[in-house]
Structure 1
Amino acid sequence: MTAQPVNAEIPADYLICTSESCSERTNCLHARVAAELTRTAATLRQINPHHPNYHEGSQCRFFRSAQPERYARGFRQAMNQLTRQNYVAMTNHLRATISTPQFYRMKRGDIPLSPDMQAEMEKTFQAYGLEGKLTFDSYEQRFTWY
């Protein structure tokens, strides 16, 4: 059984999609939340199916998976697996790339890391000498609302 997403509450003013013909309708958060929000919200923000740049299915730029994803938090343990020299070099690289405060928030686990960000971090860790797969300090299920 999969754990409940930690961010299951629908964000305020979340875009809805009411397209009945979209092939991704059952897999998309925008379509999934439409029924609930049309019942409960006083006002709604809706994706315009009449806009010239609107596309359905796999080409929709608004598509968000209705399945929660595995987000990671923190990489203190992984940092400790690096040599002292690589630890310092990687810290300097990440502080220059994503800013010092952001780096420390990510390292502590204050900021959840999306699957894409996890893949980027794994490449960076491996470039600085981590052998094998990067393991984060903890994981949680989250919807990728935006």
Structure 2
Amino acid sequence: MEKETFDYSKVPHNFGLCAAADCSHADTCLRRIAYSHVPANITFLPTLNPKTIEAMAGKCEYYRSNKKVNYAKGFVCTTEALAVSVSGTFRYGLIGRWGIRKYYQKRKGETLLSPAEQQEVIALAKKLGLQKGEYFDSYVEEYNW
């Protein structure tokens, strides 16, 4: 894990933890790292069944890398740069994928955009004729919970 201190308060409430200490991927698995940082005042945990992990024989499908990912935060700059004639197509195209509430949360930067979602925004903007150097308002590095 990186040198920074792990902040358990950022672990999503329903994120499954892993108690398998003998796993060969324990040092880099976000689920195991989060488990090792659980505060003593938390009594009940969402934990993966150790028997399920054991049955996978080292090829865990629940492994989650502790490498941080670049998430985009907002794309107001893109919506403002679109021609008025295609702005509705852009907006409704993304609302169709994410729903209206998520669209506006992602547009304003209240909800981060994963790399896959960033590609959706860029692809749709390019399809509608927008060529920009940067399509997002800012970026943050976060764990891929």
- Give the shorter-chain TM-score range: 0.7 to 0.9
- TM-score of the two chains, using structure 1 as the length reference: 0.74
Question: CA contact under 8 A between 2:16 and 2:48: conserved in structure 1?
Answer: yes
User: What is the CA–CA distance in structure 2 between the aligned matches of 1:104 and 1:52, rounded to whole Å?
Assistant: 38
What is the DSSP-based 3-state SS (H/G/I as helix, E as strand, rest coil) of the residue aligned with 1:66? coil
* SS class of match (1:103): helix
Is the contact made by 1:22 and 1:56 (CA closer than 8 Å) also made in structure 2?
no
AA aligned opposite 1:47 = L
- Residue aligned with 1:27, SS: coil
Identity %: 23
Which runs of structure 2 are paired with 1:64-103 in the superposition (5 Å)?
A: 64-103=64-103
Q: TM-score, normalised by structure 2?
A: 0.74
Alpha-carbon separation, structure 2, partners of 1:133 and 1:5: 34
* Partner Cα separation in structure 2 for residue 56 and residue 140 of structure 1: 35
- 2:108 corresponding residue in structure 1: 108
CA RMSD of aligned residues (A): 3.2
1:17/1:30 contact within 8 Å kept: yes
The C-alpha deviation readout for 1:76-107, integer Å capped at 9, x for no partner, is: 11122222222222123223333333322221
How far, CA to CA, are the matches of 2:78 and 2:9 in structure 1? 29
Gaps of 5+ in 1: none
Which residue in 2 is equivalent to 1:125?
125
Give yes or no for contact 1:19–1:25 (8 Å, CA) kept in 2.
yes
Give 1:13-52 correspondences, 5 Å limit: 14-37=15-38, 41-51=42-52
Q: 1:108 to 1:14 in 2, by over 3 A?
A: closer
Equivalent-residue separation in structure 2 for 1:88 and 1:100 (angstroms) = 13
| Residue aligned with 1:72, SS | strand
Matched residue type, 2:69: E
CA shift, 1:5, in A, is 9.1
> Within 2, Cα distance between the matches of 1:26 and 1:125?
40
Matched AA of 1:81:
A
The AA in structure 2 aligned to 1:29 is L
Return the letter of the residue paired with 1:100: I
Contact 2:27–2:33 at 8 Å: present in 1 too? yes
In structure 2, runs of 5+ residues without a counterpart are none
